[in-house]
Amino acid sequence: MNSIILAIQDGGIWMAPIIISFVFALAIMGERLFVIMGARSNKKTLLANVKSALIAGNIVKASQQCGGNQPLPKVLKAGLSKAGRPDKEMESAFDQAIMEEFPVLTKRMAFLPMLANVATLSGLLGTIIGLIEAFDAVASAAPDQKQIMLAKGISKAMYTTAGGLVVAIPTLVGNALLLAVVTGIMDDVDSGAASVLNEYRATRGTEAAK
């Protein structure tokens, strides 16, 4: 812990934007992780219940199975609300609901790459400033101060570079992992909606044949 505090002190003022970026990135990733984990639903059980109700010809019961605030049941409920209407309307209802759910899951995640860039560029700027100070020390400082000022300048340059990378790398990795989970959820929603739509069409076709 002491080494971290010393690194921040040696890095100087250019560590401030790096630390601020880190705090915001952690807050966004934590909040998004909480939301995304709550968006997962038991796809297999839900689809089985909805399809069972559709096969029985009970649209109301099928819609009632889609309770909860997770994306999949919400999308299925939106599509089933158009049951009895032309298939195109039902399909459009599914598509619109899917498009509405994706931004909810990815909200604020676009800031994560930006925060990673801010941390990296702040570290780079601190590196440049530190090197400038080191060169100034070599050029103009008193002989007895050159070594100390040179060491401080190089220390600032290295610590800010390291700080920027320490923040940027986990932020980018976290963003990629969150996007992968969101993509998986939305793939389940897409396939679930298509499956229910096909089951509804097949059931209606069977009823028409009778």
- 119-162 pLDDT, tens digit per residue, is 999 988 888 888 887 777 666 666 666 676 666 777 777 888 88
Residue 9 located in a structural domain: no
Domain that holds residue 49: 14-209
Q: Which of 23-37, 76-90, 104-118 shows the lowest mean pLDDT across its residues?
A: 76-90
- 2-23 pLDDT, tens digit per residue, is 666 766 666 678 788 899 999 9
Burial class (CB in 10 A: 0-12, 13-18, 19+), 189: buried
Residue 175 located in a structural domain: yes
Residue 5 located in a structural domain: no
Q: Which of 113, 108, 152 is nearest to 134 (CA)?
A: 152
Q: Quick one: tokens of 162? A: 């390291």
pLDDT at residue 209 in the model: 42
pTM of the model: 0.81
| Stretch 67-87: mean pLDDT | 86
Residue 115 located in a structural domain: yes
Residue 23 located in a structural domain: yes
Residue 205 has pLDDT above 60, yes or no: no
Residue 8 located in a structural domain: no
Q: Output phi, psi for 38, to 5 deg.
A: -75, -10
Q: Quick one: tokens of 129? A: 């400033």
| Stretch 66-79: mean pLDDT | 88
Average pLDDT, the chain: 84
In angstroms, the CA 51 to CA 47 distance is 6
Q: How many domains does the chain have?
A: 1
Task: Give percent above pLDDT 70 in the chain.
Answer: 84
Residue 146 near residue 162, CB atoms below 8 Å: no
In angstroms, the CA 93 to CA 72 distance is 13
In angstroms, the CA 201 to CA 93 distance is 15
